[in-house]
């Protein structure tokens, strides 16, 4: 087979320009979908005359990187040039979505025409009845009783016809709205450049007349996939089941029918050039720049302090799994130094509508160590956490996870396999049977003045009750503030033997709580500062 790597070229051969191009349709064989973009492989059966000719290949993606196009041909055939087109010779193939909508519009127009014809016929009958009534009423020798019967007949018939016309007018109005709506949708689809596929225009030289297959391969930006997970745990003693899934979306203008699908964690559109450092020259700032720099430094300090509280929240729950777990029977995972791929044996149909199409990649059953985690200052509930080790050798990606605990949907979590450390903590959900209460103790709090200084004392009690039938291990967190000014003094007065991080003020208690037991801890601290000052976030 001969392969040609094509750049953006222009059909310019004078001999071939005068010939009518031969048009062929390409069938999609396989798709490798990246996090951004996809690599598509087509096959087109092409008949060529001897010599130079122009060929139009229909049903390729509506956008592609011409530098990535490769075409494999048979012996004795040379691809002289190629370019991408959207509407060559006004003969662009209509997409399946366009054809379906076009058929719906034609059917709606036929229904409207039938209703309109029936309504016109009924109105004609009414006119004929009126004319006939005038003739009959003027006929000599007609008795009064006969006139009465005739009047009753015309009255009933007039009412019947008028009611029928009224219903037909109502039906006609609805059908007209349907026709207008479909016509507008068809116009929007026709005006949308991404609603249908594109074309490749080739200039080909053949040594002999031949019918052969062209294998066409290229990159398109109009497809991608995102990862998500299902996390299942029957109880806090069983292993954790992790179902690795993908949402595949594509808007290439061509529907993918029975396609061999491969998903890759790589990104071919990402810049592969390594960065190069240049000299770093220092210079003095202008007065205005100095003021802006000071203001920015102050804002950075405040943001840094405020960001410390979320550190205590349940960490974004990453996930890991044992490589020895059961991979889905129809999916093969391959890994290299830069990415991983999932080859799926089942052919897939994915419409060109940019809607999510769910694909199951693999399943793992992973032993996990469970514990409870609570930060009552930020959230009143206790969270069941699963500790998982040896995750770094898996090519998991950041993504949302659906949590199913004890056969019930428990909400959503998040997986971040890029977290550092040997252990990943995965939130399995909230457990209402572990009750956490945090209350301010007013009798040991208060404000005192010492000269020009003010001293405030804050005391909190946290109670944790285990309403479950088994003992639990609890990781409980709270915090005290950190001073940012030399005139502001913060002192930790009581911590109930918590592990104290003096850099961020976070206190951590590790509690073992028996069934039905309630444990209490206390946190107390004081803040001393000038009485003419106000602390905004105390």
Does the pLDDT of residue 123 top 80, yes or no?
yes
Q: DSSP letters along 54-66, please?
A: EEEEEEE-SS--G
Report the C-alpha gap between 263 and 34 in whole angstroms.
6
Q: What is the pLDDT of residue 5?
A: 47
CB of 216 closer than 8 Å to CB of 202? no
Q: Which residue has the tokens 């469970």?
A: 370
pLDDT, one tens digit per residue, over 379-408 is 999 998 888 877 666 667 888 988 888 788
Query: Phi then psi for 515, rounded to 5 degrees?
Result: -60, 130
- What is the distance between the alpha carbons of residues 460 and 444, in angstroms, rounded to a whole number? 9
Query: Do residues 371 and 474 lie in contact, with contact meaning Cβ atoms separated by under 8 Å?
Result: yes
Q: What is the DSSP letter of 18?
A: T
C-alpha span between 39 and 268 (Å, rounded): 9
Mean pLDDT of 478-505: 93
Q: What is the pLDDT of residue 135?
A: 54
Give the pLDDT confidence score for residue 212 in this predicted structure. 94
Exposure of 171 in the CB half-sphere (CA atoms within 13 A):
17
Mind listing the pLDDT tens digit for each residue in 137-177? 555 555 667 767 777 777 788 888 889 999 999 999 999 99
CA–CA–CA angle 280, 281, 283 (5° rounding): 140
Instruction: Please name the residue that has the structure tokens 């479950």.
Output: 468
Give CA–CA dist 514/473, Å, rounded.
9
Q: Strand pairing partners for 504?
A: none
The per-residue pLDDT for range 265-317, each reduced to its tens digit, is 887 766 666 777 777 766 665 655 555 655 565 455 444 433 333 333 343 33
Q: Give 429 or 53, the one with higher predicted confidence.
A: 53
pTM of the full structure: 0.60
CB 521 within 8 A of CB 507: no
H or E segment to which residue 97 belongs: helix 96-137
The per-residue DSSP string of 469-536 comes to SS-EEEEEEEE-----STT-EEEEEE-TT-EEETTTTEEEEEEEE-TT-EEEEEEEEEEEEETT---T
Q: What is the DSSP string of 288-334?
A: HHHHHHHHHHHHHHHHHHHTTGGGGSPPP------TTS---TTEEEE
* CATH code 2.60.40 region(s) in the chain: 441-530
Residue 346 has pLDDT above 80, yes or no: yes
CA distance 40 to 456: 67
Handedness of CA 271, 275, 281, 282 (dihedral sign): positive
> Between β-strands 240-250 and 506-513, what pairing exists: parallel, antiparallel or unpaired?
unpaired
Where do you find CATH 1.10.287 in the chain? 96-191
Instruction: For residues 97-123, give the mean pLDDT.
Output: 88
Q: Which two tokens stand for residue 12?
A: 């310019």
Q: Write out the H or E segment, with its range, that includes residue 106.
A: helix 96-137
Q: Which CATH number fits domain 441-530: 2.60.120, 3.30.70, 1.20.950, 2.60.40?
A: 2.60.40
222 secondary structure, DSSP code: S
CA distance linking residue 203 with residue 17, whole number of Å? 9
Quickly state the pLDDT bin for 449 (edges 50, 70, 90): confident
Q: Provide mean pLDDT across the span 342-348.
A: 90
Q: Which residues fall within 8 angstroms of residue 326, CB to CB, at 6 or more apart?
A: 362, 363, 364, 365
Would you state the structure tokens that stand for residue 59, as one six-digit string?
């049903």
Question: Per-residue pLDDT for 27 more than 90?
Answer: yes
100 band by pLDDT with thresholds 50, 70 and 90: confident
CATH class of 96-191: mainly alpha
Q: At what angle do helices 96-137 and 144-191 cross, to 10 degrees?
A: 160
Residue 327 has pLDDT above 50, yes or no: no
């Amino acid at each position: 087979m001969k392969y040609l790597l094509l750049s953006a070229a222009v059909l310019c051969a004078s001999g071939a320009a005068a010939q009518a191009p031969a048009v062929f349709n390409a069938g999609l064989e396989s798709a490798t979908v990246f996090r951004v973009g996809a690599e598509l492989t087509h096959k087109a059966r092409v008949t060529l005359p001897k010599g130079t000719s122009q060929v139009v290949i229909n049903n390729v993606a509506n956008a592609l990187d011409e530098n990535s196009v490769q075409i494999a041909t048979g012996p004795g055939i040379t691809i002289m040039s190629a370019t991408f087109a959207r509407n060559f010779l006004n003969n662009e193939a209509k997409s399946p979505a366009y054809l379906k909508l076009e058929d719906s519009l034609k059917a709606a127009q036929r229904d409207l025409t039938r209703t309109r014809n029936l309504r016109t016929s009924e109105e004609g009958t009414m006119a004929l009845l009126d004319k006939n009534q005038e003739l009959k009423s003027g006929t000599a020798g007609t008795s009064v009783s006969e006139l009465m019967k005739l009047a009753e007949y015309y009255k009933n018939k007039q009412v019947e016809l008028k009611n029928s016309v009224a219903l037909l007018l109502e039906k006609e109005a609805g059908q007209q709205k349907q026709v207008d709506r479909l016509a507008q949708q068809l116009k929007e689809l026709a005006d949308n450049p991404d609603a249908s596929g594109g074309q490749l225009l080739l200039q080909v030289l053949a040594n002999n007349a031949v019918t052969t297959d062209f294998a066409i391969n290229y990159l398109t930006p109009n497809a991608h996939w995102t990862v998500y997970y299902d996390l299942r745990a029957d109880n806090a003693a069983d292993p954790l089941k992790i179902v690795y899934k993908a949402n595949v979306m594509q808007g290439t203008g061509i529907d993918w029918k029975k396609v061999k699908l491969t998903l890759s964690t790589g990104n071919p559109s990402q810049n592969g050039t390594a960065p190069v450092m240049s000299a770093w020259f220092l210079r003095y700032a202008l007065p205005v720049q100095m003021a802006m720099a000071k203001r920015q430094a102050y804002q950075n300090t405040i943001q840094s302090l405020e960001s410390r509280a979320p550190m205590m929240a349940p960490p974004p729950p990453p996930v890991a799994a044992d490589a020895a777990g059961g991979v889905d029977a129809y999916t093969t995972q391959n890994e290299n130094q830069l990415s991983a791929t999932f080859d799926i044996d089942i052919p897939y149909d994915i419409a060109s509508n940019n809607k999510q199409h769910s694909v199951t990649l693999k399943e793992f059953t992973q032993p996990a160590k469970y514990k409870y985690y609570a930060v009552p200052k930020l959230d009143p509930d206790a969270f069941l956490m699963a500790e998982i080790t040896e995750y770094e050798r898996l090519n998991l990606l950041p993504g949302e996870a659906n949590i199913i605990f004890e056969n019930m949907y428990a909400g959503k979590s998040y997986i971040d396999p890029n977290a550092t450390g040997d252990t990943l903590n995965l939130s399995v959900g909230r457990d209402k049977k572990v009750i956490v209460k945090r209350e301010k103790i007013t009798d040991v709090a208060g404000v005192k003045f010492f000269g020009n200084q003010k001293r405030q004392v804050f005391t909190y009690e946290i109670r944790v009750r285990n309403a479950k039938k088994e003992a639990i291990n609890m990781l409980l967190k709270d915090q005290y503030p950190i001073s940012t000014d030399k005139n502001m003094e913060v002192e930790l007065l009581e911590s109930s033997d918590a592990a104290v991080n003096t850099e961020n003020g976070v206190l951590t208690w590790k509690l073992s709580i028996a069934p039905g037991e309630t444990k209490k801890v206390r946190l107390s601290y004081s803040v001393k500062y000038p009485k003419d000052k106000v602390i905004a976030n105390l």
